[in-house]
Amino acid sequence: MTPARIQRRLSECLADNAVLTEVPGAAAAIWIDDRLYEAATGVLSVDTRVPVTADSVFQIGSITKMLTATLVMQLVDQGLIDIDRPVVSYLPEFCVADAEATATVTPRQLLSHMSGVEGDLFLDTGDDDSALQRYVAAGQSLTQIHAPGRAVSYCNFGYSVLGRLIERMTGLSWAAALRERLVVPLGARRLLTRLDEVVKERVAVGHVVDPQTRKVGVVSKTYLPVSLAPAGSTVVAALADLMLFARMHLDGGRNASGQILLSPESVAAMQSIEGLLPSPQWALQARGLGWVLSSWSGQPVYGHDGGTTGQASFLRVLPHRRMAMILFANALTRPKELFHSVFSEFFRDLGGVEMAKPPPAIDMDRVDAAKLAGRYRSLSTTIEVFQRDGRLFLRSFDTASPGDAAKGDQTTELEPVSPRGFRMLTPGLSSPDGVVFHDEDERGIPRLMLVRVRNFAREA
């Protein structure tokens, strides 16, 4: 594609899809051949009808974890921490319910989501500079989904602990450390954490869709607690400013001026496999020190997604082509479909790779459903897996994580793609999520079930 064609097609693709998928507004950017292309469509809010522009700011959610991971690796570069020493050696107040986990969990395990600690403690501990300290102290009641290092299981709590570690080692609040050590050196003017800064920008607000009427409305709560800031609750960014961060990782840790912000060794370490996700997770294959690591058409791809109160974000980097792409959307109902539609076209046409796709379905007679059926739990959600009419279903209930697409009491059919791997047949969604049963005991009964990116421990 010519530069003009890239720009035109990006605008066309974004506008067409945003309307079709009940997303009020969206913005996307591509970095390729040392050029930035941006497009925007829709409105920042269905109430105000203010148009989205390319310089509008959206909540980036858990993409923030990559900022936090980079700050941690800067401490490694400075010789201030060793990510293989126990966290408690730097943070004596770190304590979870399991004594062995308290004594042994390392920053490496927190970075790669392999601590096994219950991850979704959504607790508001205030919005001052001591919020993280109070939040980490509240973790003493958190139990283990599995033993440290045994599996990959998404852990928001772990990234708030890392944020507190950054505070302890720098003497700055996490937000101040982010500004001084990353935002300012990157020149990222619209990568913000403070409300007094955010209100000066064109700000997207989150939306939800009523499942019965399909009516789109503004969320009642704008932000998640400050205690989850290092994990993704507060940061907003414009496309070009977040792209400066992606480019820094593409350029071996150097900013646009050539200044080294992160050593090439730490950049490479963040992109190296720390833990494999059980097969067949077609979209998420492994975890690095922060990054989600995938392979498209045999080429490595790294990135991360974000989801907050009614907003979603996606970042993918194709290093061999020096290409990166970002998508922001101010709805959580169907942004993944928008992501697949927009990203697949441009990574195919510009990057020469095909996005990973779900494998074909297999017959249920290859599945030992009786061994999979049972109750699985995490801190915020309980899941029942059961058989009915020769098919397998998943029922989730109680309170799911704030910002998660799945809340409340929901029943979803599981379509097998392997004897232990399934895709969730969620009505109306063309991009299914994966479910994998794994870590089997001597009877072949799984002890863990991975749903999307979270593990659930078997209870019965």
Q: How far apart are CA 111 and CA 69, in angstroms?
A: 7
Backbone angles phi, psi at 181, to 5 degrees: -100, -15
Q: How far apart are CA 386 and CA 393, in angstroms?
A: 5
Q: How far apart are CA 428 and CA 424, in angstroms?
A: 11
> Using CA of residue 323, residue 405, residue 223, residue 155, what is the dihedral sign?
negative
Strand ranges inside 288-359, DSSP E? 292-296, 299-307, 312-318, 323-329
Residue type, 228: L
Q: How far apart are CA 29 and CA 122, in angstroms?
A: 31
Which tokens belong to 395?
A: 């029922």
Which tokens belong to 300?
A: 């490595």
Q: How far apart are CA 287 and CA 271, in angstroms?
A: 8
Q: How far apart are CA 104 and CA 126, in angstroms?
A: 29
Q: How far apart are CA 183 and CA 190, in angstroms?
A: 9
Alpha helices in 224-312 (DSSP H): 239-250, 264-270
C-beta neighbour count of 337 within 10 angstroms? 18
Q: Say if CB 37 and CB 239 are below 8 A apart.
A: no
Q: How far apart are CA 322 and CA 33, in angstroms?
A: 7
Q: How far apart are CA 452 and CA 423, in angstroms?
A: 10
The set of catalytic residues is: 62
| Helices first, then strands: H and E counts in the chain | 13, 21
C-beta neighbour count of 178 within 10 angstroms? 25
Which tokens belong to 290?
A: 């922060």
CA 208 to chain CA centroid, Å, is 19
Residue with tokens 């693709």: 13
Angle at 440 between CA 385 and CA 147, to 5 degrees: 100
